[in-house]
Structure 1
Amino acid sequence: MPRHHPTSGRNICFLTGTLNAMAGAERMTATVANALADLGHHVTILSLWDAASQFALHPRIRHEALFAQRPSFKRAYLATVAGIRRHCVEHRIEVLVQVDTMLELFVLPAALGLRLHHIAWEHCHFDEDLGKPARKLARRLAARFCRQVVVLTERDRRRWLEALRPRSAVVCLPNPLPFPMPAAPAPRTQKTVLAMGRLVAAKGFDVLLRAWQKVAEAAPEWQLVIHGEGEERPALTAMIGELRLEGRASLPGVCHDPLQAYGQASVFCLSSRYEGFGLVLIEAMAFGLPIVSTDCETGPRELLTPGQDALVVAADDADALAKALLTMIRQPEMAARLGAGGRQKAGNFTLERLALQWDALVRAPG
């Protein structure tokens, strides 16, 4: 990666809930912060709670937390605002990147009079509030008071512009591939379908297991591996028993070595009911895995080209998902062609390319 002279770097703070969670936004925070530190910026990460991180951080990055455990933010609102302001003053922060538009509710009062270059980084798609009505207000405030709002897809950028007519610049910067482009595609010799993500309802793994019951009947030598951890584990484990999929479908937990997991798969499946971006799709494409995905908002709809790198079906439809998986299994030439198409596309999402776009964003004059 090209390096700038360290003295030319800016003082940048990434403000996030926590880094001690195996989730997409947290992983991207570490990835982009590390890349900017590598380019000579002076980077801090301020977590609202828990100073531990699930992700390795660049040695020059300072990671601090306001609270040891997650507090009640209603009760700790003023302390949170004061803590963010103190951090910005102490570290002479010039650029504050909030890793969730909800954080605007703290940042706006915390940054009063500090003349910060203020960026909101949205990881959800615009029409999803994740059960928090305050998110709509936070987005309105971000659209008015931030210098830039960073969204992950062009589709989402258009929604922000239509719905809010923002004063802020709305910039589309997709999530980068968090590891270097693999030198070679996966060999795709094992009869394994891989799925990956948090074990939560949004990921639709219940639908995938129902689909897999049909696939397992027709192609009994194939295995389904679902990597991830979350609240749905007991329900999904019970489902594997009810559908008699023991030995055909497994839940081995969080994947600490994605290169091994992708390298041992032949097909990747995304069964989500909704997605903010779908980074796993880019990762799977980088390994040349053909993809079966639901047509959900917003990532898959933008990242995938049906028939060129993926087979795409309606969300929440186990029959359609099973049919597409069986098509992929039974037509190896088509699967190989889709995998090669995806690998070519993944080259657009390398960290080197996106780090330079972030670099230009944080250096942009006011």
Structure 2
Amino acid sequence: MEGKTLVTGGAGFVGCNLVKNLLEDGRDVVVLDALLRPGSERNAAWLQTLNAGSRLTFMKADVRDFAAVKSCMAGAEEVYHLAGQVAVTSSLDDPRTDFDINALGTFNVLEAARRMKTPPKVVFTSTNKVYGGLEHVAVEQTGSRYRFVDRPLGVSEAEPLDFHSPYGCSKGAADQYVRDYARIYDLPTVVFRMSCIYGPRQFGNEDQGWVAHFIISALSGRPIHIYGDGMQVRDVLFVEDLVRAFRLATEKIEVSRGQVFNIGGGPENTISVWREFGEMLSTLRGAPVEADFSDWRPGDQPCYVSDIRKAEQVLGWRPQVDRDTGIRRLWDWAERYLAQNGLPTDQTQVEPGRIALSA
């Protein structure tokens, strides 16, 4: 397959998995990444091992730099806009930077695309945080988990938007800009409001990427801290399934353009973040994995499950990797990674500027 694709945030966890998939499909890929997030340097270095030669180009640049975005996008047929500030806590500490990266950065991507003679398809990764705390949705405790009382299939795209926190506001503003550029400028855009994504190349922390964070902590004997009672429920989606949804959206742009999709594991792939996941980790490790607890964080949802029926109906997509299989695959990857590299550090260096990522 020929054609150029731009992936912003392509050295992130989701981004590098997407880049690998695109290269395997024969596409030329430009990665734009500022390498601000811990772990991105390691993923950028890993991309060099894929032996893609001149088909993979890396630009160490920031989505806040419109000129850089425009330059990287030149000639692109597809744009996957994954770059972003991803932590609620960071947005509370520095809301201006959060806004500049998430809202202004997305605006730069949209404007660069709009100004092209043939605008590219644009896929944007939004978040379920645009629905806020869902305080109006009834939740009950059953056994080791919480569940929705009257939403057995999860939260749909019809749920009212209710931005909470600077992060929710910046991503929500970007989400709506991407939608509106499809309406006003006929730009072929697609929005994915993501739930919990996990898989190889994820170096998580307490604020984002908790599945990988817990697994790496369990393998390395590092302490695990739980906010709340550990019965909070999330639907989890293996990264390969997310990448497949992205690719289907661009392949079927005639039906996906201007659309918003809630994307996650759905009701069949849910887990309580510690009462159930902790037991799984102890089984995988063959020894108890301990955690300590503290009060709930403001705005933390007792339950969030994505209603994924729209993605199934429009894109013909459903998760193929079930929860237990995916968690086992991530555990095995993390175990190999730690054996070969030790605990993750952030000392891998990638030279600034435009470089070809080749072995």
TM class, shorter-length: 0.3 to 0.5
The higher relative CO (CA closer than 8 Å, separation ≥ 6) is in 2
Larger of the two Rg values belongs to structure: 1
The TM-score normalised by the length of structure 1 is: 0.41
Which TM-score applies when normalising by structure 2? 0.42
